[in-house]
Amino acid sequence: MRIHSLQHVPFEDIGSMAEDFRRRGYSLTTSHWYSGDAAPAVTDFDALIVMGGPMGIYDEAIYPWLAAEKILIKNAIDAGKIVLGICLGAQLIADVLGGKVTRNAHKEIGWWPVTVQPTAQDHPIARILARYPEVFHWHGDTFALPPGALLLASSEACLNQAFSYGDRVYGFQFHLETTPDSAAALIENCGDDIDGSTYTQTAASLTASSERFAAINRAMSEVIAVIFGGELPAS
């Protein structure tokens, strides 16, 4: 399988997913928008991963590549490609599917649980989240659920945390791919977001436990198996 990722800033890549794809033998390419990369053709990939970033999805005047990115995401969905959006990426997918993106009532930064929606409890992604309810968050915006999408999970601070649109398009407001190194990079580059508000945890607490990262990365591996398929080789 040919995986293509869209990266918005140098410090937010696909994290633990890279090793999962490598072990499955999938190819991986990336558009680094911040470096001026051009958009790929939809025929160049089988699956698209849209990553996070500190910008807002309506900031085309500052980041003009956002307009091209939205067109690419819409074309990929229309072409039946697998599309996964994480954080900003989920907001971009929601937007192109008709779900408005706004400021959330709270910043949500740190380790907070998500709760599976009763109407989605039999969905394979929801079953994974039910086993790994504590996930990593770093966001201030939120998306409205797009028409036709299924809400999979919510948190106390943010109603719309994960959705599926059919069986090939997914949006996660939270992060399962974050590693200790990528969390440290977020703190270094976006640490001003940690303002002591109700749902923001301290920088020290974010990286205090390697076991937390190992758990969400295991969850990410299970999610990859559902969304992207492919068996991992025996260890």
pLDDT per residue rounded down to tens, the chain (235 residues): 999 999 999 999 999 999 999 999 999 999 999 999 999 999 999 999 999 999 999 999 999 999 999 999 999 999 999 999 999 999 999 999 999 999 999 999 999 999 999 999 999 999 999 999 999 999 999 999 999 999 999 999 999 999 999 999 999 999 999 999 999 999 999 999 999 999 999 999 999 999 999 999 999 999 999 999 866 665 5
pLDDT at site 32:
98
Name the residues annotated as catalytic. Answer: 87, 175, 177
pLDDT at site 233:
60
- Torsion, Cα 146 152 155 156, to 10 degrees, reads 80
- Would you say 63 and 33 are in contact if contact means Cβ atoms under 8 Å apart? yes
pLDDT at site 231:
67
Q: What is the pTM of this model?
A: 0.96
pLDDT at site 98:
98
Dump strand ranges (E) for 95-159.
Answer: 101-113, 115-116, 134-143, 150-154
Using one digit for the tens of pLDDT, what is the confidence trace for 55-78? 999 999 999 999 999 999 999 999
**Residue for token digits 């299970």?**
222
pLDDT at site 1:
96
Domain 2-227 in CATH: superfamily? Class I glutamine amidotransferase (GATase) domain (3.40.50.880)
Range list of H helices, 79-209:
88-96, 124-131, 180-190, 203-206
Between CA 42 and CA 26, with CA 153 as vertex, the angle to 5 degrees is 35
Domain ranges of the chain: 2-227
